[in-house]
Amino acid sequence: MYPVLLDLGPLTFYSLWVFVAIGFFAALLVINKLIKKNRLSLKFIADYSLLILLSGLIMGRLIFVLHNFNFYFYDYQLSNFLEVLYIWDKGISGWGALLGIALSLFYFAKKNNENPWKWLDITIIATLAAMFFFNIGTFLDGMNFGRETNLPWGVIIETSIYAVPIHPVQLYSSIFSGGLAYFLYSLSTTKTGKTPGNILLIGVLAFSIFKFLLEFLRGDEALLFLGLREGQILALLGIIIPLILLAVKKFKLNEST
């Protein structure tokens, strides 16, 4: 595809990192708008945003390294340990990064007597907005490619294992993420969306269902368990847990009325 977006001699702009930067900027804009809309504390996010993002980066990198342990520690030389710090090798787990952000945000919110569910609600919308751009970057970079297809929008990616048109699964993810972000933003003005935690749970549930189905179209290698790809196992957890929590919230609401 187009892993290098612009080459200016000593300066090289890689497509993936350019769109990651755009995604982070978009997420900040969305968070700022939602903070004002929901009358949350600007001071809280100003004080802890860097730590929250850093937590996501560390957790994402840690899970990726553990998942690819033999690649990084094929022998125990100092250089191998240093390679763990080379985050520019694109080795970051998306699920791990999201987990790190969610856990750190929950911790800091509770520590500062903020409602963590309100913050997680706006964070899921901002994250999905960022993922709209992240996935465009992965498409241009040729990462996370799909399997072969006869559909007219199939693309040929040189870095894939296929020499025929394949599903542009990255663009499917981009379109879905952007659409879901818009839907959740609209939902946040309704009675359902104003209940803390609902936006988060609905967002995670919808995205996990999509990811479970999308994995059937993926063409890159993955660990298999009972015939399911690793990503599908994680997606199942992302389906089951929100369903249970939504059911519990519904039960408590019925009891209180």
Per-residue pLDDT band at 208 (split at 50, 70, 90): very high
When pLDDT is averaged across residues 93-109 and rounded to a whole number, the result is: 85
Percent of the residues in the chain that have a pLDDT greater than 70, as a whole number: 88
pLDDT, averaged across the chain = 85
Q: Find out whether 63 and 95 touch, Cβ atoms under 8 Å.
A: yes
Report whether pLDDT(130) > 80.
Answer: yes
| CB proximity list for 15: less than 8 A, separation 6 or greater | 1, 2, 3, 4, 5, 137, 140, 141
pTM: 0.85
The β-bridge partners of 180 are none
Lowest mean pLDDT among 93-102, 118-127, 178-187: 93-102
Predicted confidence at residue 207, as pLDDT, reads: 94
Take residue 91 and report the two structure tokens written for it: 């080795």
When pLDDT is averaged across residues 129-151 and rounded to a whole number, the result is: 89
Distances (CA, A) of 223 to 23, 57, 210, 214: 29, 23, 19, 16
